[in-house]
Amino acid sequence: MFRTILVPLDGSVFAEHALPLAVSVAKQCGAKMRLLRVVPPLADYFFMPPQLNDPLDSELRTLHRTEAQAYLDDVVRRMKDAGPVVCDVMEEEEGVCESICADVVKTGVDLIVLSSHGRGAVARFWLGSNADKLVRTAPVPVLLARPPEHAPAELERPVTLKHFLVALGGNTNAERIVEPALAIGKVTGADYTLVRVVRPAFPNLISDIGTGPKPASGWLGLSKIDEQNCQKAEDYLATVAKRLRAEGATVQTRVHVAEQPAAALLHEAALVGADLIALETHGRGISRLLIGSVADKVVRGSSVPVLVCRLPSQV
C-alpha cells in the first residue's frame, strides 16, 4: 500500500496533468501527496550569474524559492478536495532527476506520478526531457500520465482505473511490477489481464498472433517451437494468475506471439480496454531513444497511464 505519493512539478500546465491521476490514487489509497518543485540553478537564468559570496546570489535564490513556493500553494488551492498535501521546494544540485530521487529517499516516497510526452513529442519542460531518466533511476515505481495535447489540466477530474494490463517477461524479476499494480488495483477495484509476449522462432513466416489459453485445436499458424514457447508462457501466466486470485483479484491471461513486444502490448491494451499498463524496465542507460526498450515504446505509444518499475538488480 502506498503511503506517500510524489508529484514533481515545474510550473507548467503540462506537468499539472499528472495531478488528477495522483489525487485519485492517493485518495483511494489513503496516501499523503507530496508536491515538489526543484528550482534550477541561477546559471539557467543568467548568462553571468552572481558569485556565491555575492549578496545578490542569496537574494535571487530566495526570490526563486519564494516564487516556487507560491506556485505550489496556488496548485493546492486549485486542487481543493485532494486530501493531505505537503509542498516543498528544493534547489537543484547534481541534476533534476538526482534531486527528485534524493527527495524520494529522504521523505520515504512510495510512488512517483508525473506527466510524460508521447510519440513524436518534443521536450517542452524539464520533466519532458527528464522523465525517461527518472523512470530508469527512481528507487520506487513511477506512474506516467499521458496528458491531452494543448488542453488545460482539470485538477478535479476523477480518473477511472478499473482494468490493468500487466506485462510479464517470464521471470521473477519482471514480477516485481505485480506488487505495485496490485496495490493500486485493490483500492480502485480493478481486474487484470496478464500478458506474455513470445517472439516467434521464424518471424518472417507468421503474422502477430494474440491468444488466450490454448484452444482444443491448438494454436494455428505456429511452428512446433513457437507452440512449445506459448505453452510455457501460458503455464507461467497461470502460476502468477493463481497467486493473484488467491488475493481476491479477477485475472485473465493472454499470450501474444509477435516480433515487436511493445506494439503487441499496446494492441492487447486496446483490445481488453485497459485503463493502465504496468511493466518493468531494465533501466539501462538514460537515452530517450534507447533501441530495444519495450518500456520506452509503450510509454510513447500508450494513451492510458503506464506504471513502470525497475528490475531489482538496477535499484
Q: Which 3-state string (H, E, C) describes 148-194?
A: CCCCCCCCCCCCCCCEEEEECCCCCCHHHHHHHHHHHHHHHCCEEEE
- Listed in sequence order, the residues at least 6 apart from 43 whose beta carbon sits closer than 8 Å to its beta carbon are 49
Phi, psi (degrees; rounded to nearest 5) at 143: -110, 115
Q: Which of 141, 176, 143, 168 is nearest to 261 (CA)?
A: 168
Could you read off the pLDDT of 201-233 as tens digits, one per residue?
776 655 555 555 555 445 556 778 888 888 899
- pLDDT, mean over the chain: 80
* Dihedral class, residue 95 (left if φ above 0, else alpha if ψ from -120 to 50, else beta): left
- DSSP H helices in the chain: 13-16, 18-29, 55-79, 96-107, 126-137, 178-188, 224-245, 261-272, 294-301
Question: Region 131-157: what's the mean pLDDT?
Answer: 79
Q: What is the dihedral of CA 28, 29, 34, 35, to 10 degrees?
A: -30
Between CA 222 and CA 182, with CA 166 as vertex, the angle to 5 degrees is 150
Q: Which residue has the higher pLDDT, 7 or 152?
A: 7
Q: Which of 243, 199, 249, 252 is nearest to 209 (CA)?
A: 199
* pLDDT confidence of residue 243: 93
* pLDDT confidence of residue 236: 93
- Rg of the chain over CA atoms, in angstroms? 21
* pLDDT confidence of residue 226: 81
| Cell representation of residue 183 | 496495490
Could you read off the pLDDT of 228-253 as tens digits, one per residue?
888 899 999 999 999 999 999 999 99
Q: Which domains does the chain have, with CATH numbers?
A: 4-145 (3.40.50.620), 163-314 (3.40.50.620)
Q: Hunting for cell 500487466 — which residue is that?
A: 166
Q: Is 296 exposed, middle or buried (0-12, 13-18, 19+ CB in 10 A)?
A: buried
pTM comes to: 0.84
